[in-house]
Amino acid sequence: MIKPLYLARSRRIAARKLGEEILVMSARGSTLFTLNPTATILWQAADGATPLERIVESKICSEYEVNPEQALLDAESLVEDLAKHGILLISEKPIAESSGYGEERP
Amino acid sequence: MSALLMAMGERARELGIPFNVHLDLTYRCNEKCVHCYLDHHDHGELTTAEIKNLLKEMAEAGVFILTLSGGEIFLRKDFFEILEVARELTFCVKLKTNAVLIREAQAARLGELGVQSLQVSIYSHRPEVHDSITKLPGSLKRSIAAIRLLKAQGLKVTIANVLMRSNMQDIYGVRALAKELGVECTLDPAVSPMLDGDRSILALNTDESVLREIIHDPSFTPNVEEFCAPPAPASEESMDAFPCSAGHNACYISPYGEFYPCVAFPLSCGNVRQQRFIDIWRNSEQLKEVRSIRLRDLSGCSQCVHGATCTRCPGMAFLEGNMRGPSTADCEKSYARTGIASKNLLAKKDKPSPLRLVQIQLVPAIMGSRLTGIGASAS
């Protein structure tokens, strides 16, 4: 059985909604990103308590006509990428709200 | 600034969003720099609660880049309380400071809070020159020590220098210091008038020949040939361009809540103590007027050879008496760059003007300085 994956927004980033996009700057390297619609959904749902599988099921599969298994694989790849850039924190356990400053992947 | 950030700034302008705000937390300062454009007395600063409320309003309005400056920001006892709220609201926070009050604990906290960058004022690599400008003995030593602490936290630091007669021989020394510290270095080529319109501190500026020499130095201007080429005629597109971001996607708030288009453009558009930030941004008649300015509307500049390429600052023009008029400081920069006088400079030349008195200071010589000898000339 695949272990659940939890995600939380890093507190070391700067972010703002600009029109339909979300602009995110990572503290590490001051790299700037704009999130695409799927990344925006994951970003907004990243509360540290809801597993990725449930986010994909409730926010992506309900919105788009996609294969749930493929959607989850794509979402895992995307959150891994966002975590590498210090934008999201990911963990196999729920992530406390106070986490985030200075933390990389737990 | 990255291309993406510039593109996002342009997108914000199209959407009418104040993307970039400069907030001065105080005008009080522990340094008393000879060229400072501020009155350092406290005339009733925004309280902690007022600033926290303002930050919330700004986040709701879509502000992304928040520059906290002063005065010296670390003189506010609530500075870290303000910064914590700013970061909780996910602003991209930039700080301007002399760094004199930053010790290990402060540097560590700034690192924890994910400040995007800090700009530290350094006017010379020599304590006797820097400290004589700041009027604070030991200030260079403390600022440099702080930069090392900030770098140790992985923070991005830029040294900001201002070119004056008293430090013009040291610009290469400051750059070498920046390299040694592993930080960027910028040079502002001119002193600005005081915000109350007093122009007496402009006497600290170097003369045009020094500015010309620096602008034509490839180590300061990588693309000298292109940058200093004779100006091309203004195209129809450039005639409809707006001069800068002031009031378009950027604005300034003073420690007393006054809302200006830019820190260098003290045209009061309202006060955040009386109105919501977004209401001033959207409805101020003064801001609407600033936004309406286009090159083709400027009586002198629209016919000037430098019209399309000039860095004309509307705030400087405003301080000179007319926001739709020329900014002589920028005319002088255009002249130093290209050797071609602007329409405004030619008109001034034709008029008898009062003798420009310039204080001649003895500048300590440096062996091998590329600028040695220029300090004795007066215009």
* Average pLDDT of span A87-98: 86
Could A27 and B116 be called an inter-chain contact, meaning their C-beta atoms sit closer than 8 Å? Answer: yes
Interval B192-215: pLDDT, tens: 888 888 889 999 999 889 999 999
Using a CB-CB distance cutoff of 8 angstroms, which residues of chain A are in contact with residue B93? 14
DSSP B129-152: HHHHHHT-TTHHHHHHHHHHHHHH
- Residue A45 resides in a domain: yes
Query: Does B112 touch chain A if contact means CB atoms closer than 8 Å?
Result: yes
- Residue A36 resides in a domain: yes
* DSSP H helical ranges for chain B: 3-15, 48-61, 79-88, 104-112, 127-134, 139-152, 171-181, 208-215, 224-227, 236-239, 277-283, 285-292, 314-319, 328-338, 343-350
DSSP B232: P
- Residue A30 resides in a domain: yes
Distance CA A102, CA B209 (A): 49
pLDDT confidence bin for A28, thresholds 50/70/90: low
Distance CA A23, CA A35 (A): 7
pTM for the complete prediction?
A: 0.87
- pLDDT, residue B361, reads 38
- pLDDT, residue B234, reads 84
- Residue A100 resides in a domain: no
- Residue A105 resides in a domain: no
- pLDDT, residue A63, reads 82
Average pLDDT taken over every residue of chain A: 84
DSSP B151-207: HHTT--EEEEEE--TTTGGGHHHHHHHHHHHT-EEEEE-SPPPPTTS--GGGGGSPP
Using a CB-CB distance cutoff of 8 angstroms, which residues of chain A are in contact with residue B5? 32
Could A14 and B93 be called an inter-chain contact, meaning their C-beta atoms sit closer than 8 Å? Answer: yes
Interval A38-64: pLDDT, tens: 888 899 999 999 999 999 999 889 888
Please give the average pLDDT of every successive group of 10 residues along chain B, which has 379 residues.
Answer: 85 95 98 93 95 98 97 98 97 97 98 95 98 98 98 96 96 97 94 86 91 90 89 86 91 98 95 98 96 88 88 89 90 90 86 43 35 28
The residue among A55, A53, A46, A32 whose CA lies nearest residue A100 is A46
Q: Which A residues 11-30 touch B at CB under 8 Å?
A: 11-19, 21, 23, 25, 27, 30
- Looking up residue A18, the CATH number of its domain turns out to be 3.90.930.60
**Which residue of chain A has the CA closest to B154?**
A28
How many angstroms separate the CA of residue B116 from the nearest CA in chain A?
6
Give residue for tokens 């083709």.
B296
- pLDDT, residue B329, reads 87
Helix, coil or strand: residue A14: strand
**Which residue of chain B has the CA closest to A101?**
B112
Could A14 and B2 be called an inter-chain contact, meaning their C-beta atoms sit closer than 8 Å? Answer: no
Distance CA B141, CA B159 (A): 14
The encoded tokens of residue B291 equal: 């936004």
Using a CB-CB distance cutoff of 8 angstroms, which residues of chain A are in contact with residue B8? 18, 23, 32, 34
Helix, coil or strand: residue B223: coil
- pLDDT, residue B2, reads 77
Interval B234-262: pLDDT, tens: 888 888 888 889 999 999 999 999 999 99
A61 neighbors A75 (Cβ within 8 angstroms) = no
Sort strands B117-121 and B157-162 into parallel, antiparallel or unpaired: parallel
Could B91 and A30 be called an inter-chain contact, meaning their C-beta atoms sit closer than 8 Å? Answer: no
Alpha carbon B86 to chain centroid, angstroms: 22
Query: Does A32 touch chain B if contact means CB atoms closer than 8 Å?
Result: yes
Could B8 and A23 be called an inter-chain contact, meaning their C-beta atoms sit closer than 8 Å? Answer: yes
- Residue A106 resides in a domain: no
- pLDDT, residue B245, reads 93
Residue B62: which of A14, A18, A101 has the nearest Cβ? A18
* Average pLDDT of span A11-27: 88
- Residue A104 resides in a domain: no
Report CA-CA distances (Å) from A27 to B5, B78, B160: 15, 23, 21
Query: Does B183 touch chain A if contact means CB atoms closer than 8 Å?
Result: no
B22 neighbors B250 (Cβ within 8 angstroms) = yes
Give residue for tokens 């200006």.
B260
Query: Does B347 touch chain A if contact means CB atoms closer than 8 Å?
Result: no
Q: How many CB atoms lie within 10 A of CB B303?
A: 11
Could A13 and B87 be called an inter-chain contact, meaning their C-beta atoms sit closer than 8 Å? Answer: no
Average pLDDT taken over every residue of chain B: 89
Using a CB-CB distance cutoff of 8 angstroms, which residues of chain A are in contact with residue B90? 13-16
B286 neighbors B273 (Cβ within 8 angstroms) = no
B284 neighbors B252 (Cβ within 8 angstroms) = no
Alpha carbon B190 to chain centroid, angstroms: 10
DSSP B115-126: --EEEEE---SS
Query: Does A34 touch chain B if contact means CB atoms closer than 8 Å?
Result: yes
Query: Does A88 touch chain B if contact means CB atoms closer than 8 Å?
Result: no
Helix, coil or strand: residue B15: helix
Beta-carbon pairs below 8 A across chains A and B: 53
Say which residues have a Cβ less than 8 Å from residue B230's Cβ, sequence separation at least 6: B305, B338, B340
Distance CA B222, CA B215 (A): 10
DSSP E strand stretches across A36-106: 47-51, 88-91
Helix, coil or strand: residue B52: helix
Q: In this model, does residue A98 exceed pLDDT 80? A: no
**Residue B113: how many CA atoms within 13 Å on its side-chain side?**
27
Using a CB-CB distance cutoff of 8 angstroms, which residues of chain B are in contact with residue A23? 8, 64
Q: Which B residues 54-73 touch A at CB under 8 Å?
A: 59, 62-64
Could A14 and B15 be called an inter-chain contact, meaning their C-beta atoms sit closer than 8 Å? Answer: no
The encoded tokens of residue B331 equal: 């005319």
Query: Does A62 touch chain B if contact means CB atoms closer than 8 Å?
Result: no
- pLDDT, residue B243, reads 82
Distance CA B302, CA B173 (A): 40
Give the structural domain span for A60.
Answer: 6-91
- pLDDT, residue A86, reads 86
Could A27 and B114 be called an inter-chain contact, meaning their C-beta atoms sit closer than 8 Å? Answer: yes
B327 neighbors B312 (Cβ within 8 angstroms) = yes
How many angstroms separate the CA of residue B8 from the nearest CA in chain A?
8
- pLDDT, residue A96, reads 82
**Which residue of chain B has the CA closest to A21?**
B8
- The tally of domains found in chain A comes to 1
Could A32 and B90 be called an inter-chain contact, meaning their C-beta atoms sit closer than 8 Å? Answer: no
Start-to-end Cα distance in chain A: 21
Give residue for tokens 């020499």.
B213
Q: In this model, does residue A105 exceed pLDDT 50? A: no
- Residue A71 resides in a domain: yes
Interval B272-331: pLDDT, tens: 999 999 999 999 999 999 999 998 888 788 888 998 888 888 998 998 889 999 998 889
The interface predicted TM-score of the complex, written ipTM, equals: 0.82
